[in-house]
């Protein structure tokens, strides 16, 4: 049967993506569920759980409440907790049970905001999608509520968007990206939202350009482009040559005289106010070499490998941004629906499809939990990915921004 994982794991769910994105921002995040999601989240999906505090709770939905739809109790409990804890905001994330019973998460959020006076987001996660959906939507809600409007632009200022421990763990990669940008002469205003400064995030509208380092950052990048006219570059600075290219891209869209123009460069394509520094269209020539993972980080790694070794892996991703939640930003996305993927890459969610695609592969770079579906003839390079295997291989995750072999 399709959509059943027999040998491999599954990606972190959208419901876990919400508290992951909002973990450090001073809010109260509530998973509306019967207690199953919270234990999975804080045990496997959240590396910061045992080292720092965050207000992440579960509603403890009972069978009778699920059947009868007791939204009044949900609202009352959250209001009481909010008055005691005094969070900066409240976020309610849905799970499979309220999805099935038809709970109106957004309507309940509006009632709670009216009663508490605290900004409240209702996010229609349902456990059926990956963390990219939940985290991306959470950061979008946060930006709309807290980023200051009508601000003056700051020259050579940049935000890092899409920084989550599910893509980058907590081994210093985001701090390394910040140093990389600072060394290149950019002022990093904020990152959304790992090892971040909440006060600086409110000034994110001052940036003249944004760097999107994972698919999680796409929605908020689009919001900043529409609200503040801020262009953005997609890519992660892996390897010396790609680092230079990303800086060149940032300077390209940072220059008002060149912004908004479509420019075809030798190795990547620039659309109006969006540059894919990950593009490899003209370089692609190898078959049988694959990277499995999130598209922006995997495409960046593929390009760094091409520059270092001369061969180009294709990317297989199953965590792309989809239009599963309603909202203006989602409906009007001006980027590719597949985010960083190109024609030679694959979007595959099912284990059987992935196994079939790589059955004759020469080399596969992927999380260790993919090993059961890798042929014995295939060279398997372990590349742990927290959004897939959780804490299991956390100690083996490399800070690729500082890695000298790519």
Contacts of 353 (CB under 8 A, 6+ apart): none
Shared domain check, 157 and 270: yes
What tokens does 261 get? 């123009």
Residues, the chain, total?
406
Does residue 284 sit within a domain?
no
The helix or strand, by DSSP H or E, that contains position 28, with its residue range, turns out to be strand 28-31
What tokens does 44 get? 């496997």
| CATH number of 225's domain | 3.40.50.1980
| CATH number of 358's domain | 3.40.50
What is the pLDDT at residue 287? Answer: 77
Does residue 136 sit within a domain?
no
Total-model pTM: 0.91
- Quick one: which of 227, 233, 229, 220 has its CA closest to 330? 220
Are the C-beta atoms of residues 131 and 387 closer than 8 Å to each other?
A: yes
Parallel, antiparallel, or unpaired for β 28-31 and 55-58? parallel
Shared domain check, 215 and 323: no
- What gap in Å lies between CA 122 and CA 74, rounded to an integer? 13
- Rg for the chain (alpha carbons), in Å? 21
| Cα 12 to Cα 45, 134, 164, distances in angstroms | 7, 10, 12
Q: 401: cis peptide before it, omega within 30°?
A: no
What tokens does 174 get? 């985001």
Parallel, antiparallel, or unpaired for β 232-234 and 274-276? parallel
Domain that holds residue 263: 149-276
Shared domain check, 246 and 169: yes
Does residue 138 sit within a domain?
no
Shared domain check, 195 and 124: no
Phi, psi of 146 (to 5 degrees): -120, -15
What is the pLDDT at residue 263? Answer: 46
Shared domain check, 298 and 271: no
How many structural domains compose the chain?
A: 3
How is 337-371 classified by DSSP, letter by letter?
TTTT--TTSEE--SHHHHHHHTTT-SEEEE-GGGG
Shared domain check, 262 and 155: yes
404: buried, middle or exposed (CB in 10 Å: 19+, 13-18, 0-12)? exposed
Residue reference for tokens 């569920």: 33
pLDDT one digit per residue (tens) for the chain, 406 residues: 456 677 788 899 999 999 999 999 999 999 998 876 677 888 888 899 888 999 999 998 888 877 777 788 899 999 999 999 999 999 999 988 888 888 899 999 999 999 999 999 999 998 888 999 999 999 999 999 999 998 999 999 999 999 999 999 999 999 999 999 999 999 999 999 999 999 999 999 999 999 999 999 999 999 999 999 999 999 999 999 999 999 999 998 766 555 444 444 444 445 568 889 999 876 666 779 999 999 999 999 999 999 999 888 999 998 876 554 444 545 555 556 678 888 889 989 889 999 999 999 999 999 999 999 999 999 999 999 999 999 999 999 999 999 888 8
Laid out side by side, the sheet with 28-31 consists of 55-58, 28-31, 90-93, 120-123
Does residue 68 sit within a domain?
yes
Cα dihedral 358, 304, 193, 180 in deg (nearest 10): 170
Q: Residue 110 CA to chain centroid, in angstroms? A: 26
Shared domain check, 23 and 123: yes
The last residue of one of the domains, among 99, 128, 157, is 128
Are the C-beta atoms of residues 210 and 161 closer than 8 Å to each other?
A: yes
The helix or strand, by DSSP H or E, that contains position 331, with its residue range, turns out to be helix 328-331
Shared domain check, 193 and 100: no
Does residue 401 sit within a domain?
no
Contacts of 222 (CB under 8 A, 6+ apart): 329, 332, 333, 334, 335
Considering all CA atoms of the chain, what is the largest pairwise distance in Å, rounded to the nearest integer?
Answer: 62
């Amino acid at each position: 049967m399709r959509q059943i994982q027999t040998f491999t794991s599954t990606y972190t769910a959208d419901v876990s993506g919400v508290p992951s994105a909002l973990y450090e921002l001073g809010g109260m995040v509530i998973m509306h569920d019967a207690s199953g999601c919270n234990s999975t989240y804080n045990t496997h999906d959240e590396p910061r759980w045992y080292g720092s505090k965050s207000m992440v709770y579960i509603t403890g939905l009972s069978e009778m409440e699920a059947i009868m739809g007791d939204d009044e109790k949900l609202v009352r409990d959250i209001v009481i907790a909010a008055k005691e804890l005094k969070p900066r905001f409240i976020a309610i994330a849905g799970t499979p049970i309220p999805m099935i019973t038809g709970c109106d998460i957004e309507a309940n959020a509006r009632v709670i905001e009216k009663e508490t006076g605290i900004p409240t987001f209702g996010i229609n996660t349902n456990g059926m999608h990956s963390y990219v959906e939940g985290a991306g939507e959470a950061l979008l809600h946060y930006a709309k509520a807290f980023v200051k409007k009508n601000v003056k632009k700051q020259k050579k200022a940049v935000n890092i968007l899409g920084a989550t421990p599910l893509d980058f763990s907590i081994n210093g990669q985001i701090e390394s990206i910040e140093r990389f940008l600072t060394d290149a002469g950019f002022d990093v205003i904020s990152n959304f939202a790992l090892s971040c400064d909440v006060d600086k995030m409110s000034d994110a509208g001052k940036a003249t350009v944004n760097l999107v380092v994972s698919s999680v950052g796409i929605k908020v990048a689009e919001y900043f482009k529409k609200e503040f006219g801020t262009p953005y570059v997609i890519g992660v600075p892996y390897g010396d040559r790609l680092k230079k290219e990303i800086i060149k891209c940032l300077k390209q869209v940072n220059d008002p005289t060149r912004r908004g123009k479509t420019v075809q460069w030798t190795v990547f394509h620039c659309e109006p106010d969006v540059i894919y520094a990950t593009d490899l269209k003209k370089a692609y020539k190898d078959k049988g070499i694959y990277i499995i993972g999130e598209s922006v980080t995997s495409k960046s790694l593929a390009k760094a490998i091409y520059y270092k070794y001369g061969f180009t892996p294709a990317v297989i991703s199953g965590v792309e941004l989809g239009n599963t939640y309603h909202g203006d930003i989602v409906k009007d996305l001006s980027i590719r629906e597949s985010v960083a993927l190109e024609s030679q890459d694959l979007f595959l969610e099912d284990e059987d499809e992935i196994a079939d695609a790589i059955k004759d592969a020469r080399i596969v770079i992927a999380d260790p939990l993919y090993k059961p579906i890798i042929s014995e003839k295939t060279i398997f390079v372990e590349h742990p990915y927290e959004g897939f295997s959780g804490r299991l291989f956390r100690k083996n995750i490399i800070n690729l921004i500082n890695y000298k072999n790519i």
